[in-house]
Amino acid sequence: MEEETHLLNRQEEKRIMADIHLEHVQKSFGAVTVIPALDLEIPDGSFTVLLGPSGCGKSTILRMIAGLEAVTDGEIRIDDRVVNDVSPAERGCAMVFQSYALYPHKTVRGNLSYPLNMAKLPKSEIADRVTEVAGFLELTDLLDRYPRQLSGGQRQRVAMGRAMIRKPEVLLYDEPLSNLDLELRVRLRLEIAEMQRKLKTTAVYVTHDQTEAMTLADTVVVLRSGRIEQAGRPHDLYHRPANIFVAGFIGTPKMNFFKVEKAESKGGKTTLTIGGSKIVLSKKLERDPAQIGVRPEYCALGKGADSATPHVKLNDARLVIQENLGDRSFGFMSSRQGEVTYLIAEGAEPPAEGDQALSFPADRVLCFDGDGNLIA
Amino acid sequence: MNQVGRKNPAGVLTGVRRVFARRTLAQREAIAGYLLLLPFLGGLAVFRFYGFFYNVWLSFMDAGAFGAPKFTGLDNYRKLISDSQVWLSLGNTLKFAAIAVPGVVVVSLLLAVLMQYRFRGESVFRAIVFLPAVCLPTALILVFAWMFQTQYGVVNAAIQAIGGDPVSWLGSSAGVTTVVSLLVIYLSFSVPTIILYAGMQDISPDLYEAATLDGAGPINRFFTITLPLLSPSLFFVIITTAIGTLKLFDVVYVLVPPIDQSVSLNYAFTLVYYYFYVGFVTIGGRGYAAAISLFLLLIIMVVSGILLRMQRRLVHYGEDG
């Protein structure tokens, strides 16, 4: 514990502002533009997660910050220094790779001390720091082992140790947990969160796993085709998604969407016609919604407790599959109104095939306009 | 008809099936495996093992060109130990190897590194790199011989053009050593280059990126990542080149032929050349030549043994090794 505080104190001493600014950053590979124009601010000491489906350019952004990939146009600043033409080694970034990228011919000690050797630190200081970091990450007993003698989780911890031993201004994580099994992933996720809380180093973390993003991030940046769809706190992303893409991408099971056929606003109330059903929302909308979305956990089968509860008719509904998650179960149902997912009430019998109704609280309804942007 | 019937292949097949039928799967696979190996083992037995044991037998004989060999016990080996020409040949052989092996390693490493880069004319470059491997060695040796010819050679012409004195390349020990080493390097770097290039392709780009972020420049990356991870390939190149050079014959034989009395064979004698000289140029030395060839075997085993010992300390085998 003492060692730990020692390390943290030193980290504190050395810490300099390291906010990252990306201004109009563009990246093309030949004729293919991966990132059209990206503006992003990552505040000092924050944990920012870049989240998106594969091929959305999230790793490319990370690699551009690291300097492993050149910027086609625009500007990257770390701590107000333009780093476009600064070599990777001089940017003050350390990176944890998905493949761990441990040096297979070096022991854990050799891996940890490598960046310090390259920085030509005195031998005694290198030894001190290796001891500290190994203690911090519980690697002390493994120092003389080779990477091939370590488990996946241990390897990833060594990779983290090698990244933090230099006391970098910025820590970059490139899908660091993707190669691990679920149990380890959960444990290391907690460890990363814990480490981040102690080190307070600016961190950028790339993942396609939304659970990782939601649990780790101060700010989640949702990307699609090299563009930012939304950047915000995990809670906001979940409950106030900026558009249909984010609403559909975040959350499992996926959000239910319904087409709005007609919308009428009258006296602070809005009446929506959906699949022949009328839903009354007690708010006035600026624009007419084209679609509404409701998360499955707020949806239940039946018309609801009272007549004020909105519900949608489902014609020719059929329960396709029931997914039991232990604490709760979801039903996946097909109908003429489309596929819907709902929370199965405890002890409920599987519904009969035929016409059904899906009800949900009015305040859980999200309205999107014709362009897919959130209205209310 | 009856005889043909007995030999018919279907009958043989039935026999084979019967042999197979009563065995376990593992046994059947073992039998099949050995059957597949048989042609190769047969060739090995006839052309290698028979030759080797005949050679061992011959080394205890006094065998001239004519007549039956006479048993002489260890005479040939006694003669070998006191024969200054043998030690001179061994010295030359080791000297050539000591220069040529590091030469081949350095040249092929450099070429393999260059091959990593994309540049204009890279396919021409690759062709040039592989040219020595597909050319007739004797032709290349003759080209070198002409280039280093004392009076009319292009090398001496170049030396004279910049104001130097012509060198008698094949008339001095240092000259022969230089030309032979250059030739051996030139004749042998192609395949090692390909092996090292392939080895470099196997190193994960992530490691280079990690090292770059860890502050390693190109030189440091080469010495701390490429070289250690290439060590299995490097070791293979070193040991095969070393054995190849210890068996050196064609280069010295074509460069300094035994009939050419104008230059001293002593500069050019390698163990194999001396073996050839004793066994096939002079008369009556076949038994003694056999002893020399076994002496060379001993030398190769000693050198390989030393290299194998070094390998344990210096070579890192793969991630899961």
Say which of A93, A94, A105 has its CB closest to residue B316.
A105
A92 near B CB under 8 A: no
State pLDDT tens for residues A209-222.
Answer: 999 999 999 999 99
Residue A354's pLDDT band, with cuts at 50, 70 and 90, is confident
pLDDT at A196: 86
Same domain membership, residue B111 and residue B44: no
Same domain membership, residue B79 and residue B52: no
Same domain membership, residue B255 and residue B190: yes
Better pLDDT: A83 or A266: A83
pLDDT at A139: 93
DSSP string, B104-157: HHHHHHHHHHHHHS--TTHHHHHHHHHHHHHS-HHHHHHHHHHHT-TTT-HHHH
Cβ–Cβ below 8 Å for A93 and B213 = yes
Please tell me the distance in Å from B205's CA to the nearest CA on chain A.
9
Cα gap A367→B103, rounded to integer Å: 74
For residue B238, the enclosing domain spans 75-314
For residue A253, is the peptide bond before it cis, meaning its omega torsion is within 30 degrees of 0?
A: yes
**Bridge partners (DSSP) listed for residue A272:** A263, A279
Rounded to two decimals, what is the model's pTM? 0.82
Q: Phi and psi for B71 in degrees, rounded to 5?
A: -70, 130
Cβ–Cβ below 8 Å for A166 and B214 = yes
DSSP string, A17-48: ---EEEEEEEEEETTEEEEEEEEEEE-TT-EE
Instruction: Judge whether B64 lies within some domain.
Output: no
Strand residues in B150-193 grouped as ranges (E): none
Cβ–Cβ below 8 Å for B209 and A97 = yes
A88 near B CB under 8 A: yes
User: What would the two tokens of residue A301 be?
Assistant: 């089968």
Say which of A66, A94, A104 has its CB closest to residue B319.
A104
Same domain membership, residue B31 and residue B81: no
Angstrom CA distances, A50 to A60, A273, A320, B178, B258, stand at 11, 37, 34, 61, 76
pLDDT at A352: 83
Whether the Cβ atoms of residue B279 and residue B289 lie closer than 8 Å to each other: yes
Question: B220: which chain A residues are within 8 Å (Cβ-Cβ)?
Answer: 118
Whether the Cβ atoms of residue A135 and residue A165 lie closer than 8 Å to each other: no
Helix axes B84-116, B173-188, angle to 10 degrees: 40
Same domain membership, residue B83 and residue B37: no
Determine which helix (DSSP H) or strand (DSSP E) holds A96, and give its type and residue range: strand A93-96
Instruction: Judge whether B321 lies within some domain.
Output: no
Count of Cβ atoms closer than 10 Å to residue A348 Cβ? 13
State pLDDT tens for residues A129-164.
Answer: 999 999 988 899 999 999 999 998 899 999 999 999
pLDDT at B194: 95
Q: Is B61 strand, coil or helix? A: strand
State pLDDT tens for residues A247-270.
Answer: 999 998 999 999 998 888 887 888
The interface predicted TM-score (ipTM) is: 0.85
Instruction: Judge whether B63 lies within some domain.
Output: no
Domains held by chain B: number: 2
Same domain membership, residue B89 and residue B149: yes
pLDDT at B262: 62
Nearest to A148 by CA among A86, A100, A87: A100
Question: A104: which chain B residues are within 8 Å (Cβ-Cβ)?
Answer: 229, 316, 318-319
Question: B320: which chain A residues are within 8 Å (Cβ-Cβ)?
Answer: 148
Pairing state between β A219-224 and A47-51: parallel
A185 near B CB under 8 A: no
For chain A, the domains span 2-249, 256-368
pLDDT at A131: 94
pLDDT at A252: 87
pLDDT at B18: 75
Does A7 score more than 80 pLDDT?
Answer: no
Please tell me the distance in Å from A2's CA to the nearest CA on chain B.
27
Residue of B nearest to A67 (CA): B213
Percent of residues, chain A, with pLDDT higher than 90? 60
pLDDT at A27: 94
Residues 6+ apart with CB under 8 A from B10: none
Better pLDDT: A107 or B319: A107
Say which of A93, A101, A118 has its CB closest to residue B220.
A118
pLDDT at A2: 45
Residue A325's pLDDT band, with cuts at 50, 70 and 90, is confident
State pLDDT tens for residues A335-349.
Answer: 988 899 999 988 888
Choose, out of B206, B207, B213, B233, the residue to mutate when testing the contact with A (most A CBs < 10 Å).
Answer: B213
Instruction: Judge whether B184 lies within some domain.
Output: yes
Same domain membership, residue B184 and residue B83: yes
Cα gap B119→B142, rounded to integer Å: 33
Pairing state between β A354-359 and B70-71: unpaired
Residue of B nearest to A69 (CA): B209
Please tell me the distance in Å from A68's CA to the nearest CA on chain B.
7
**Bridge partners (DSSP) listed for residue B69:** none
pLDDT at A77: 94
**Bridge partners (DSSP) listed for residue B71:** B61
What average pLDDT does chain A have? 89
Choose, out of A102, A103, A172, the residue to mutate when testing the contact with B (most B CBs < 10 Å).
Answer: A103
**Bridge partners (DSSP) listed for residue A367:** A292
pLDDT at A313: 87
List the CATH number of the domain containing B150.
Answer: 1.10.3720.10
Residues 6+ apart with CB under 8 A from A297: A328, A343
Cβ–Cβ below 8 Å for B321 and A148 = yes
pLDDT at A197: 86
Whether the Cβ atoms of residue A79 and residue A169 lie closer than 8 Å to each other: yes
CATH class assigned to A2-249: alpha beta
Whether the Cβ atoms of residue A76 and residue A22 lie closer than 8 Å to each other: yes
Count of Cβ atoms closer than 10 Å to residue B307 Cβ? 16
Residue A16's pLDDT band, with cuts at 50, 70 and 90, is low
Strand arrangement, sheet containing A256-259: A256-259, A291-294, A366-368
Strand arrangement, sheet containing A20-29: A32-42, A20-29, A73-78, A81-82
pLDDT at B7: 55
Cα gap A66→A87, rounded to integer Å: 9
Does A1 score more than 70 pLDDT?
Answer: no
Same domain membership, residue B180 and residue B49: no
Task: Give the residue ranges of chain B where pLDDT is below 70.
Answer: 1-10, 260-263, 317-321
pLDDT at A10: 47
Query: Which value, in Å, is the radius of gyration of the alpha carbons in chain A?
Result: 25
Same domain membership, residue B54 and residue B17: yes
Question: B225: which chain A residues are within 8 Å (Cβ-Cβ)?
Answer: 103
Choose, out of A63, A91, A105, the residue to mutate when testing the contact with B (most B CBs < 10 Å).
Answer: A105
Query: Which of 21-60 (A) contact B at CB < 8 A?
Result: none
Whether the Cβ atoms of residue A259 and residue A291 lie closer than 8 Å to each other: yes
Say which of A88, A105, A148 has its CB closest to residue B212.
A88
∠ CA B286-B75-B268, nearest 5°, is 50
